[in-house]
Amino acid sequence: MIPIDFQNSLAPYLGRTTKMLEHQIDDMLAKRGFNLTKMQFILLHKLHGQDGACQNDLAFSSNRNKSSLTRAINVLEKKQYIARIPSKKDKRMNQLFITKKGQEVIDQSSSVFEEISTRIQKGITPEEIEHTIEILKRIQVNVNDYFLVDI
């Protein structure tokens, strides 16, 4: 049984909201004909800014564990959205590059994310958005601090 004080905390609301948002994004992408999930879009977007990144760097910057990242990279590579090329400095490492096809899908699907942002911020003032972002950043720090402590 979940304690009542937990049920009335931010945690279940953050979790439900995150899941709702993820499902809506994936649904919107599929309905618009994009062969892409939210996670795949995020990885492509990260690569757009860090073209040539190694998998370890991408795992860290996208906050994904290595095994789920490897699966996503395999899918993106199969779709020909990215290319995995052995590093010239260290043959044991792969560098990831966004392909022309990957760039095209990012450019075309970006409007879905703009629409989602507009929808979820409807009726919320810029000041409230800024304040909410600051609170969420503090929550992220609290979560990181909690899990860094030896429990």
Give per-residue pLDDT as tens, 29-79: 999 999 899 889 988 988 888 878 888 777 777 777 778 888 989 999 999
Question: Does residue 120 carry a pLDDT above 90?
Answer: yes
Q: Note the pLDDT of residue 15.
A: 92
Report which of 62, 28, 57 is spatially closest to residue 45, judged by C-alpha positions. 62
Confidence of residue 104 (pLDDT cuts 50, 70, 90): very high
Tell me, yes or no, whether 56 and 113 share the same domain. Answer: yes
Confidence of residue 124 (pLDDT cuts 50, 70, 90): very high
Q: Which of 35-39, 55-59, 104-108, 145-149 has the highest mean pLDDT?
A: 104-108
147 or 30: which leads in pLDDT: 30
**Three-state secondary structure along 102-128?**
HHHHHHHHHHHHHHHHHHHCCCCCHHH
- Asked if 69 and 31 count as a contact pair (C-beta separation under 8 A), the reply is no
Print the domain residue range for 149.
Answer: 121-151
- Asked if residue 44 belongs to a domain, the reply is yes
Sign of the CA dihedral with 26 first, then 54, 49, and 97 last: negative
Question: Does residue 136 carry a pLDDT above 90?
Answer: yes
CA distances from 28 to 23, 105, 134 (A): 9, 14, 28
Write the single-letter amino acid at 49.
G
Tell me, yes or no, whether 112 and 135 share the same domain. Answer: no
Confidence of residue 93 (pLDDT cuts 50, 70, 90): confident
Question: Does residue 98 carry a pLDDT above 90?
Answer: yes
Split into its structural domains, the chain has a count of: 2
- Asked if residue 25 belongs to a domain, the reply is yes
Tell me, yes or no, whether 23 and 96 share the same domain. Answer: yes
- Quote the pTM value: 0.77
CA distances from 149 to 66, 136, 145, 146 (A): 22, 20, 6, 5
